[in-house]
Structure 1
Amino acid sequence: MFELTLIGIGTGNSDHVTLQGAQAIRDADLILIPRKGENKADLAGLREDIISRVVEEAPEIAYFDIPKRRADDGYLRGVDEWHDAIAERWQTAIATHAGARKIALLIWGDPSLYDSALRIAARLNPRPVTRVIPGITALQALTAAHAIPINDIGAPFVVTTGRRIRDEGWPAAATKVAVMLDGECSFQNLEMADYFIWWGAYVGMNEEVLIRGPLAEVSDEILTTRSKARADHGWIMDIYLLEKLEP
């Protein structure tokens, strides 16, 4: 039996790691680090940098390759099979360090918001004792970068994905919607004249890019900026908040 700790590390800025998170890194016998292909090699490097900043002597590190997700048999089934495959990679990496009893993963953002680490951990056999160290989410980093509150006074907001905006449109009765995991800039499917957007990429990092304004006026700028940033870095993580304008 081993303990698995999921440590939220914010959006890539080592200053986002809490004191609790730093201590959990120091306590770990083994840290698992994913590799997502050559174009995203610096994602592993960012994790390595965070580890080096909080420990004098790094713990054992086991790297594993993220398998590709199938998209030919339905979204939910594809995700479920993908999680099974990732759990197998974790299991293999852990097995090569049989003496490790405190194992950690550094989770981008926070393990509780649009992250699957907890679901993958539940697939391990034997099932570990799992604890979570909260982190700064991309949503928090976005609103901080733009210096805005996410909600209107006494009003709710919706957090959703680009896929749902693309397939279902604007959520009913929502006035503000935060959109995550959107590789297609799904705001293009909306009536853009009706919305205001706060957009950010690499939020909280040195590469941070921010754009805000009426969606119809800044959408082309976002598309161009996003495309160039992805080409420059080989990867991109972005998020945006939309507000429905009064008629």
Structure 2
Amino acid sequence: MTAEWNPALVSDELITLTRRLGDPAHDLVILAEGNTSQRLDDGRIAVKASGANMATSTRDDFVIAEVPPLAAMIASSATTQEELTSALDAGQHEGARRRGSIETLIHVAVQTIAPTAFVAHTHPTAVVSLLASVHAETAFDRPVYSDELVVTGKPLFVPYAQPGIELGQLFAHRLDAYAQSEGSLPSLVLLGNHGIVAIASSAAGAEAISLMAVKGARVRLAAYAAGGVAALSAESVAHYFEREDFHERRKNLAGTA
């Protein structure tokens, strides 16, 4: 069985993170947008169910998913969307269909490449504004202020793909290439015309990355309106990554391993 409904396995920490990211005041998601997950001790993940509202989520709104069989679906070019939908189905419980989010493969890809405690996917208006613009691929190439660099690090950009098997496979491919190149996972992934993914070893880190991505987008939008973005120099960025206190702050604020 690839997915099951077992509310007892869903932690308070995951519920709190999900509700905080779903708070309308943050403008990260509306309605049933977005999803979160937590890696369990046995390697499975608790991931938000399809159609559940993040702001009001409870333990009932999560599905427990097996990683290896879903990872195999990512690896196979023959996998269909129908097969994925079936694999995420945890059955009918208390009068409701419980099915893992259609974007569960994003969370699975992270666990396959480098097991991580928390993954949070949201659709912030300010960030999506840039990711739906002509600047999408390059807007976050260079940091525009130091705290952004500390918390979000070097983001990964993934072009638009239809949510589901198509996005899962492209995301996994780009994430693996990044990990091979950089030696670690990115803290922030930018999905073209779609949203963001925060990857962290703590719930607080996943929240910090998500919120800092929003501030970074707002700064860029204002800078573009004022005539253009003057990003930090490559020399300054390289110097930051050489500093011991930089890595300590990243660990404390962004939940990096």
TM-score by length of 2: 0.32
Q: Which has the higher helix share?
A: 2
Q: Which has the higher strand share?
A: 1
Which has more radius of gyration? 1
TM-score by length of 1: 0.33
Higher RCO structure, 1 or 2 (CA under 8 Å, sep 6+): 1
